[in-house]
Amino acid sequence: MSKTIFITGASSGIGKATALFFAAKGWKVIATMRKPEAAADLAENSNITLLPLDVTNPEQMQKTVKRAQELGQIDVVLNNAGYGTVGPLEGTSDVELQQIIQTNFTGVIQLTKAFLPHFRENKGGMFITISSIGGLVAYPFFSLYHATKWAIEGWTESMAFELNQLGLQIKTVQPGPTKTDFVGRSLVVPEHPAYDEFFDNFKKIFFSDEVIGNLAPVETVSEVIYEAATDGKNQLRYLVGEVANDDYKKRLELGAEEFHQNLEKAFFSK
């Protein structure tokens, strides 16, 4: 019997590519997104069912989880919806702070909680959250993004103890820079004049043709998500791509202090 994956933020990027990847492998896919009416291409796929979900809307979440479970057993829940903020903290508003925490962090926890009774009843199920290399190391001007992704890492690691006792699993996937709408329409870029000089230096590197041209293809992430869902391993983390693997290795080898000092030199030395 085919398995079923429930995906958040499946309208573009990693979520959409992963919906198509799992559907091509014969899985049933429940692809959720804020505007399912705009996903005609996914709707054409007979293995994909579209449902509405804004992960910051708890009432809609309850309804959508109920509808999804009425369709049959869910085997994997992929918490993918998320976005980045890059810029100085002083340029961000409280509304922006709440929005990124609710999307990248609170929404993940609420969705996990909403699916737990279903998983317990089925005596099986796996949660996978798309974290980021930014959940394991810290770069300049990504403070709010790191706050949410580092939180996901700690939360997941602790959750694994209680879920594994019930025969359930929870994992995170850490992509490096990947070609999606992340650095385009989804990115929030706050500005503040006190930081213009350093932020401009940072942006020159972060948005350079070299960096943008080297973004990894989105399918590389879908492949690793598929591996995490099917490899039968009791493994917490799955890094994706050269940048993520190299940066994490450097952080472990050099230690947190030296890794940080090296980045400071790379971005801000005159």
Nearer to ligand NDP, 73 or 186 (CB): 186
CB of 201 to ligand NDP, least distance (A): 21
| Cα-based angle 67, 38, 62 (whole degrees, multiple of 5) | 25
Instruction: Show the site string, 199-238: x = touches ligand NDP by CB under 6 A, - = not.
Output: ----------------------------------------
Verify binding: residue 110, ligand NDP, rule CB under 6 A.
no
Q: Nearest Cα to 9, choosing from 172, 216, 186, 176?
A: 186
Residues 4, 30: Cα–Cα separation, whole Å: 7
Burial of 178 (0-12, 13-18, 19+ CB in 10 A): buried
Q: Are 75 and 119 in contact (CB under 8 A)?
A: no
* DSSP-derived secondary structure letter, 89: G
Q: Which element (helix H / strand E) includes 147?
A: helix 143-165
CB within 8 A of 229, min separation 6: which ones? 5, 22, 76, 126, 128
Of 54-62, 87-95, 114-122, 160-168, the segment contacting ligand NDP by CB under 6 A is 54-62
Verify binding: residue 150, ligand NDP, rule CB under 6 A.
no
Of 41-49, 66-74, 174-182, 228-236, the segment contacting ligand NDP by CB under 6 A is 174-182
Nearer to ligand NDP, 23 or 130 (CB): 130
CB of 16 to ligand NDP, least distance (A): 7
Residues 32, 50: Cα–Cα separation, whole Å: 6
Verify binding: residue 18, ligand NDP, rule CB under 6 A.
no
CB of 210 to ligand NDP, least distance (A): 15
Candidate list 82, 87, 88, 140; residue touching ligand NDP; CB under 6 A: 82
Structure-token pair, residue 243? 């940048």
CB of 99 to ligand NDP, least distance (A): 8
Query: Looking at beta carbons, which residue is closest to ligand NDP?
Result: 13
Catalytic residues: 131, 145, 149
Structure-token pair, residue 136? 């394991």
Q: Are 77 and 22 in contact (CB under 8 A)?
A: no
Verify binding: residue 92, ligand NDP, rule CB under 6 A.
no
Chain residues in the site for ligand NDP (CB under 6 A): 8-9, 11-15, 33-35, 53-56, 80-84, 103, 130, 132, 175, 177-178, 180-182, 186
